[in-house]
Amino acid sequence: MATTTMTMARALNEGMRRAMERDPKVLLMGEDIGKLGGVFRVTDGLQKDFGDDRVIDAPLAESAIVGTAVGLAMRGYRTAIEIQFDGFVYPAFDQIVSQVAKLHKRSKGVYTMGLVIRLPYQGGIGAVEHHSESPEAYFVHTAGLRVVTPSTPHDAYWMIQESIAHDDPVIFCEPKSRYWDKGEVDLDDPGPGLFDAVVRRPGTDVTVVAYGSMVKTALRAAEAAAAEGTSLEVIDLRGLSPFDTDVMAASLERTGRLLVVQEAPPYASVGSEIVATLTERCFYSLRAPALRVAAYHVPYPASRIEDVFRPSVERVLDGVDRLMEYDQ
């Protein structure tokens, strides 16, 4: 079994490289992804190796990038688009929700939409306005789109390949604050399916569901809670649409307590849907009301106070304490 250690950014690069080697109809497109290698260097070296007809530097026009990729998908190409920053996706919102999400159904299956929209998202890098958004709920709400997010280099390596090979359009949310985190990548075994949740840390007292950047925060909180005698089971959601209800429900039926941790604001969010779904399914297993720990419901603040805005280990532990109080 071949394993190696790499950053998430490198794992994404290698995953796209493998996809392009396997299928000559796989293209990459985005702003500054060619010679520069992208602002985060995720596509570094790919244009040199595959040429500028497969790794395409696009103009600064997100709606045109997505619209062009729709036409390519209709002709059988598989294009992985990079939206340079999360807050830049909104000019392409009409194309994504009106064309990308609906063309397969509207054409009665004549066209598939093998299209991946790579979206560096969430904060934690000290960026300026429009560079630290969490827009995943918009796309989760839209029927016809798949939404996934890795939290480890291993998942990034395999999930980008699986997304490119998928016949449905995939919004591929990359937690940019984790691009430089290193981890082991198994080059032979992809592990769980693209939309499967994974138990990252077993526990008995509270089920903590997190995704993207917040998985690492939840795991750090679990370590701190263990020192105080509370056992947290941490679940990495991975697939946001569809999400893996079975893994979460099995955990909640054991622990009786649910805490969802997300970087997005709480109102009408992925966390809201998880709480609603699991409350419906596991109501008689609940020992306390399900809780969410999320960012505040305000526009993303200036970078100097983003650590106050984003969920912290302390805020996760406060949520755990509130759940455990119901047994007092």
Q: Split the chain (328 residues) into runs of 10 and give each run's mean pLDDT.
A: 93 98 98 96 97 96 96 96 96 96 93 96 93 96 97 98 97 97 96 97 98 98 97 98 98 98 97 98 96 96 94 97 87
Residue 239: the pLDDT is: 98
Residue 287: the pLDDT is: 96
Q: Which of 104, 130, 131, 141 is catalytic?
A: 131
What is the set of domains in the chain, with CATH numbers? Answer: 3-186 (3.40.50.970), 198-327 (3.40.50.920)
Predicted model pTM: 0.96
Residue 317: the pLDDT is: 98
Residue 326: the pLDDT is: 86
Q: How far apart are CA 217 and CA 233, in angstroms?
A: 13
Residue 216: the pLDDT is: 97
Confirm whether 131 is a catalytic residue: yes
Single out the residue of 234, 244, 233 nearest to residue 273, CA to CA: 244
What's the distance, CA 21 to chain centroid?
24
Single out the residue of 24, 26, 115 nearest to residue 71, CA to CA: 115
Q: How far apart are CA 41 and CA 27, in angstroms?
A: 17
Residue 1: the pLDDT is: 63
